[in-house]
Amino acid sequence: MPQKPIIIGVAGGSGSGKTTISRALYEQFSGHPITIIEQDYYYKDQAELAPEVRRRQNYDHPCAFDNELLYQHLTHLLQRRAVALPQYDYTRDTRADHTKHQEPVDVIILEGILALYDEKIRSLMDIKIFVDTDADLRFIRRMQRDYHERGRSIESVVAQYTAQVRPMHNQFVEPTKRHAHIIIPSDEQNSVAVDILMAKIAAILQQRLADS
């Protein structure tokens, strides 16, 4: 019987360094079937809304995500069933027309600002991580990303951060830190935490292989 996949949740504020941590784990376990699933894939479809209405939506609120679909897909992957991951078009502020085929893998990294928020999704995780970063650094990183990668103006990024991102972080993201097994500071010294995580993941893989 195939071994049960490992699910690792990586949460933290926007621009905290979640992707850096996730990529470091991915690269270290590239010898195993492994994937990164971004929670952002599961922003709700807004195709029926006018473009100006879409842009005004609060994308940092838990209600912005289709957690039921995410839970369903993670459950299917745990059952070694392939899924079609939704994709999101940030230039149109709605779900893209295409999906991404995902075969079952041994290690699933779920990365997102609210990856640890939903209790049902959290219950599927073997390891829960929160990446902790100062607010000013998170803001700078978000501005750079949204401006260069998502075609947003600096004025719109600042307005969104002030009205939505900062208050949503304080209300919903920061409190999920209490669910984490490991809290990683996002700085140049986080390699120690990554090494500890790799050892833990390797131990779980080895145990499940022995049990299968």
Q: Are 4 and 210 in contact (CB under 8 A)?
A: no
- Side chain identity at 107, as an amino acid letter? V
13 is in an annotated binding site: yes
From first to last of its 212 residues, the chain has per-residue pLDDT tens of 568 899 999 999 887 888 888 998 898 887 789 999 999 999 999 888 888 888 888 889 999 999 999 999 999 999 999 999 999 988 888 899 999 999 999 999 999 999 999 999 999 999 999 998 777 777 777 788 777 777 777 887 787 778 788 889 899 999 999 999 999 886 655 677 888 888 888 888 888 777 76
12 is in an annotated binding site: yes
The whole-model pTM stands at 0.87
Q: Which residue is associated with the tokens 């999101």?
A: 88
Domain boundaries, the chain: 6-211
Backbone angles phi, psi at 151, to 5 degrees: 70, 25
200 is in an annotated binding site: no
14 is in an annotated binding site: yes
- The yes/no answer on whether domain 6-211 falls in CATH 1.20.1250.20 is no
Residues β-bridged to residue 11: 130
CA 28 distance to own-chain centroid:
18
Question: Using CA atoms, how far apart are residues 198 and 32, in angstroms rounded to an integer?
Answer: 12
